[in-house]
Amino acid sequence: MKGAELTLYDVLAEELSRDAGVVTRRRPSLRQLTRFGIGGEAALLVDVSTEGSLVAVLERIHEYGAPHTVIGGGTNLVVADAGFDGVVVRYCGGALTGIDGGVRAEAGAELQSLVDYTIDHGLAGMHTMTRIPGWVGAAIYGNAGAYGHSIHEFVREVRYFDGAEIRTLDKQGCGFGYRGSIFKREKSWIILSVDLQLPRGDPATLRAEAEKIRAIRDEKYPPTMRCAGSIFKNLLMADLPEEIAARVPGQVVREGKVASAWFLEQTGVKGMRRGDIQVAHYHANLVYNDGAGMAEDLRAVIEEMKARVRMEFGLVLEEEVQFIGF
C-alpha cells in the first residue's frame, strides 16, 4: 500500500502491533465478538494482554484522537448494523492466581473459568454464578450475580486504569449497587483485575450445587442461543410506587426484587417478533437472534417492550445490555 493511501487506522495498526502484548485486526466483524451475533465492522480491533501494553495502546489512541471503545467478552453487547467507525480495544489478560483467602482474577478471564477455579480450590460463593457468560471485568462492571449472590460480596479490591495512572479501589470505593458499580458511571475507567476474598467450602458440595444451577440455566438460556440472557434489570420492590407494588403477587417477589419478566408478561410480549429477533415464548425478558437478526430490529423490539411496560405500569425498564455504534 502506498503511503498516501494509508489511513489513520492503518498507521495505528502498524504502530500498535509492534508491541508483543498487542494483536491488531483491521475491519473485524463485531458480530463474531458478541453473543447476539449482530452488528457491523469496526475500523480496528486491538487485543491487549498486559497492563503495560494496555496503557501504551490507550495513550497512543488518544494521541491520534481516534474514536475508541473498550469492551469485554461481548455477552451484553448490541452493535449497530453499521458497526463502529473507530478502535475497539479488548483487555484479554486472563490469569487466575491464588492469594491469601481467595483469588486474583484478571479482567479478561472467562467468568466460568473463575467459577471453576474457586470450586476446585474449595472457595465458596462464586459457584452460584456458573454458566453466566462473559469476562470477569464485565462481571465487576455490572455487579453480576445469581441465586442470592452478587460478585461484589467477595470483592477485596479492584485494580483499574483511570486514563492517567493505574489505581486500586476497595469494595466500598467501587460503589456497588444492583447490577451496577462506579465503573458503569465512570466509563473511561478500565478494570484490570480484582482480588476476591471467599469463604471455604467443600469442592464436591460446591460442584454438585453448581451442576444443578448449570442445568437450570442451560434449559432457560441454551449455550447455543444467541442472546444476552435477560435484557432488562429486575426492579427493587422498595422503589415501586405503592399502587404498582400492590398489584405484584407476593410469590414473584424474591430477595426484595420483582422480575422484569413479570411486568413484561402482563403486556403480552411473549413470542413477539420482528425480522429474526424473537422474544421467547417461555420467558418475557429473553430476546434472541433466531437467524440473521439485525441490530435495528433488536433495538425496535427492546423499545416496544419498554413502551408497553411504561404504558401499563408507568415504569421505565433499564436495559442490562450495552449499545455500540448507535
List residues bridging with 281 in a β-sheet: none
Asked if 246 contacts 159 with a C-beta cutoff of 8 angstroms, the reply is: no
Residues facing residue 277 across a β-bridge: 274, 289
Single-letter residue type at 167: R
Is 320 an active-site residue?
yes
**113 among known catalytic residues:** no
160 pairs with which residues across the strands? 167, 191
Q: Is 193 a catalytic residue?
A: no
How far is the C-alpha of 178 from the C-alpha of 129, rounded, in Å? Answer: 15
CA distance 74 to 42: 14
3 state DSSP class of 77: strand
Nearest to 131 by CA among 122, 141, 119: 119
Distances (CA, A) of 146 to 126, 208, 284: 9, 16, 18
Residue 43 CA to residue 310 CA, distance in Å, equals 37
- The alpha carbons of the chain give a radius of gyration, in whole angstroms, of 21
Instruction: Exactly one of 60, 156, 159, 179 is catalytic; name it.
Output: 179
Looking at 106, 230, 260, 308, which residue is catalytic? Answer: 230
Of 41, 51, 106, 320, which one is the catalytic site residue?
320
What is the rounded distance in angstroms from the CA atom of residue 116 to the CA atom of residue 179? 22
Q: What are phi and psi of 3, to 5 degrees?
A: -55, -40
Q: How many residues does the chain have?
A: 326
DSSP 35: S
Give helix 8-16 / helix 51-64 axis angle, nearest 10°: 160
Q: 8: how many CB neighbours lie within 10 A of its CB?
A: 14
Using CA of residue 46, residue 48, residue 51, residue 56, what is the dihedral sign? negative
Report the catalytic residues: 179, 230, 320
